[in-house]
Amino acid sequence: MLYLIALLFPIIFGPAVSALRLNSPRTRYLSYGAVLLITDALASLSLVFGSGMTLFAISDRVRISFSADPLSRLTAVFVMLLYTATFFYSVEYMKKEERIPTFFSFYFVSFGAMLSVCFADNLISLYLCFELATLSTVPLVLHELTKEAVRAGLKYLFYSMAGALLGLLAVFFVYNYSSGDGSFVLGGFLDTRAAAGHEGVMLVMFFLGIIGFGTKAGMYPMHGWLPTAHPIAPAPGSALLSGIIAKAGVIAVIRLVFYSIGAGFLRATWVQYAWMGLAMLTIFVGSMMAFREKHIKKRLAYSTVSQISYIMLALSLLTSDGLEGGVIHMMSHSVSKGCLFLVAGIFVTRVGRSRADQLQGVGKAMPVTMWCFTIASLSLIGIPPLGGFLSKWIIAGAAIESQSGLLAVLPPAILIISALLTAGYLLPITVDAFFPGRDFDRNTLTDADGHALTEPPVSMTAPLIVLCLVALAVGLFGTSVTGLLGF
């Protein structure tokens, strides 16, 4: 029952606060803050004291149920972290936006939906929660209601729904050829004896499932929605989409491959090699597109296409080390990219500049903001001791140990090339911001209203600092955390 309360509380009370006729913005934000903190408290209690529960059952094996294993607990912690950081940032950011109650209504509904993805006990439950997460996050993209926003929102919806339907094909086949009650088990529960003679069609369905759930993660060839939706959404929405909502696809793939099918069924098959190839292609293409893009938010969106496929590449190795590296990169990327999108929102709304080549001297007026941008960038590049370095080191090592020939060399080479491209599209922003040149006129550093440019309020910078500290913590203690997961 504790899980159900934790999941339904933000879904019910977030929109309820929006529906109240609160004349004072301060009262409204305090009410939203209370809903957020209570949700965090309930979810935290569920992590510690919650016991498995079944909401309803169609049969002995087909049921909607929730529980918490180590992976659930880890992903739920990062969902709470990103949503909490984004909320405090949004208090200031959304002051200049319209339809604020609508934004926060779907913010809280999506919060509950993402927690349900983490706590789902089986593939049926995960699929339904995955769809809820899609439906509740489309309004975050649609928020501005311009033609571009509507087009981006519909594209996101169509891609995500189509991908989920492909994932559903894999779910059907898992349940048809499996033993047990369908609950997630590390190592999978596929009945290989029942599957004997059907391996060919099962491999096709499982590959479609990986592609389908990978759509949410922006994996080629279903990546097109991501660079369209992210730049259109408000910065808090972009941070959530890239930082944690796109990870719903990663969670679904991990649950499908490692907790349902079993990595051994796919290892050394064409599915593994095709998956690896698509992941490496996505890493390279995403990095190249980000390198060429000038719009700051669109550049970060293409970066997300590339960076999340690091996780897909790690998972495609189908080893415990690959899974560990993928989970660590999921943690690292969540906080780093969330931070970068929040900083981009400051650039766009406070500085009034949306292009990466228009930020000369910004570091002089906003050193805290730019240092946070720099630290998050260094983590994405893979500079020690930040989380991005640790994850890439483990992924490269896992590839070398588990593969032979070209497949042992190519993944580390792709990671190095992508790291260089990442440095090429992120570090020049930092250099221009802190070292604009001797001829730079500081009088040109004005905000969007023409006033002297200064640091944004603490409510916006504090979340950035926290996310950077977590990126550092992942680099220092990431293996200790994944050790608790039992990989």
Q: What is the pLDDT of residue 56?
A: 79
Q: What percent of the chain has pLDDT over 90?
A: 51
Q: What is the pLDDT of residue 443?
A: 67
3-class secondary-structure state, position 49: helix
At 441, the pLDDT band (50, 70, 90 cuts) reads low
Listed residue (243, 109, 217, 106) closest to 163, CA to CA: 217
Asked if 121 and 72 touch (Cβ cutoff 8 Å), the reply is no
Its pTM surpasses 0.75: yes
**Residue entry with tokens 């500085």:** 351
Cβ atoms within 10 Å of 71's Cβ, excluding its own:
22
pLDDT digits over 319-348, tens only? Answer: 999 999 999 999 999 999 999 999 999 988
Pairwise CA distance, residues 487 & 478, whole Å: 13
Q: What is the pLDDT of residue 454?
A: 80
Pairwise CA distance, residues 64 & 55, whole Å: 5
Q: What is the 3-state secondary structure (H, E, C) of 132-155?
A: HHHHHHHHHHHCCCCHHHHHHHHH
Pairwise CA distance, residues 124 & 441, whole Å: 60
For residue 487, is pLDDT > 70? no
| DSSP symbol at 24 | -
Instruction: Tell me how many degrees the CA angle 275-277-278 measures, rounded to the nearest 5.
Output: 65
- Average pLDDT in the chain: 88
At 221, the pLDDT band (50, 70, 90 cuts) reads confident
Interval 215-233 mean pLDDT = 79
For residue 386, is pLDDT > 90? yes
Asked if 166 and 209 touch (Cβ cutoff 8 Å), the reply is yes
Cβ atoms within 10 Å of 152's Cβ, excluding its own:
23
Listed residue (358, 247, 389, 236) closest to 304, CA to CA: 247
Listed residue (397, 240, 190) closest to 313, CA to CA: 397
Tell me how far the alpha carbon of residue 445 is from its chain's centroid.
Answer: 33
Asked if 218 and 308 touch (Cβ cutoff 8 Å), the reply is yes
Pairwise CA distance, residues 277 & 317, whole Å: 11
**Residue entry with tokens 């069609």:** 201
For residue 97, is pLDDT > 80? no
Least confident range of 86-90, 213-217, 244-248: 213-217
